Amino acid sequence: MPKKNSSYMKKDWVNRLMLLALLAVLLNGVPISANGADTNSVNNSLNATNIPIFGYEVVNAYPHDPSAFTQGLVYEDGVIYEGTGLNGQSTLRRVDPETGRVLQQTSLASAYFGEGIAIWKDRLIQLTWQSNLGFVYGKENLTRIGNFSYRTEGWGLTSDGKRLIMSDGTDTLYFLDPITFTREGEIRVTAKGEPVKGLNELEYIKGKIYANMWPSNWIVIISPDTGLVVGAINLNGLLQDSDIQGHRVDVLNGIAYDAKVDRLFVTGKWWPRLFEIKLVANGKEV
């Protein structure tokens, strides 16, 4: 399935159509296109499940490197850490969130397609897509200090302060020991009894797991205890034509949270903007 871009197909079109069909089942038969699901139909369908649906209000829009094929995003102490993908272009970066300026960067060997990232104490941890290999870096200097292996594909990564939480594009999230990287457990993610596949970039926020739902403009909010989807965020229309200005862009991907002052950031692959947003329900901020 072309999770990353039509020019970088992950499997074949048959697998892509199978995934889209599964997403359509999740959304009660909503028609799915290569650009995601029809917004009104998704709203109607998810509302029928009694899952809270959130809109958004843009608080700030910041510059973002349009050459960054964003795969992982995390915020800490005034800095955005970002992992980017594509073979020969994958990086790990420290970024000034307000200016978009790359403060420091390390590149992956061209054999590796960079994926999700997470902070664990004084370390940064980065997945790769199909190499079954993750990398460990010193957070302050982005120097690689170790690696680890896993059996699945690597997509998204976050931490709940005790464990790492990893996605592989399926409906399963895995819990890993942050020191040994051994698998400690897993949950299956469901909504209305159906598996929720295409789980991508992850962020742990206020006791819940937020996950980009590829290939759409939706984020699902997941209980880490049960795997149930307990909310969904509709980010359709976030990136405007005026933001793009001729830039090539791909799907929404990238969630970061500033826990100290309750700020939520989102962006996408090759997006020229990083957005700070507030969630809105029934016209009110939440």
Contact 255, 219 (CB under 8 A): yes
Tell me, what amino acid is at 210? Y
As given in the structure block, the two tokens for residue 10 are 């992950």
| Rounded alpha-carbon distances, angstroms, from residue 236 to 40, 129, 254 | 10, 26, 15
Residue 35, domain member (yes or no): no
**Average pLDDT of span 214-234:** 95
Residue 3 lies in a domain: no
Residue 172: strand pairing partners? 188
Does residue 2 have a cis peptide bond before it, meaning omega lies within 30 degrees of 0? no
Tell me whether residue 131 is in a domain.
yes
Q: What are phi and psi of 57, to 5 degrees?
A: -125, 130
Whether pLDDT at 221 is above 80: yes
The domain that holds 249 is classified in CATH as: 2.120.10.30
pLDDT category of residue 28 using cuts at 50, 70 and 90? very low
pLDDT of residue 34: 29
The residue ranking higher by pLDDT, 13 or 261, is 261
What's the rounded Cα separation, in Å, for the pair 24 and 37? 8
Q: What is the pLDDT of residue 268?
A: 97
- Other CB atoms within 10 Å distance of the CB of residue 215: 26
Q: Is residue 43 part of a domain?
A: no
**Residue 259: inside a domain, yes or no?**
yes
Whether 35 contacts 236, CB under 8 Å: no
**pLDDT (tens digit per residue) in 190-201:** 998 889 999 999
Query: 175 is in which domain, residue-wise?
Result: 51-281
Q: If you average pLDDT over every residue of the chain, what do you get? A: 86
Looking at the predicted structure, is the pLDDT value of residue 16 above 50? no
- Do 18 and 24 touch, CB atoms closer than 8 A? no
- Residue 141 pLDDT: 95
Local confidence band at 13 (pLDDT 50, 70, 90 cut-offs): very low
Read off the pLDDT of each residue in 164-177 and give the average, rounded to a whole number: 97
How many domains, in total, are found in the chain? 1
Strand pairing report for 36-37 and 53-63: unpaired
In a domain, 25, yes or no: no
**Apex 47 CA angle, 72 and 220, nearest 5:** 10
What is d(CA 188, CA 170) in angstroms, rounded to the nearest whole number?
9
For 58-103, the pLDDT digits (tens) are: 999 999 999 999 999 999 999 999 999 999 999 999 999 999 999 9
Domain-located, residue 29:
no
Residue 79, in any domain of the structure: yes
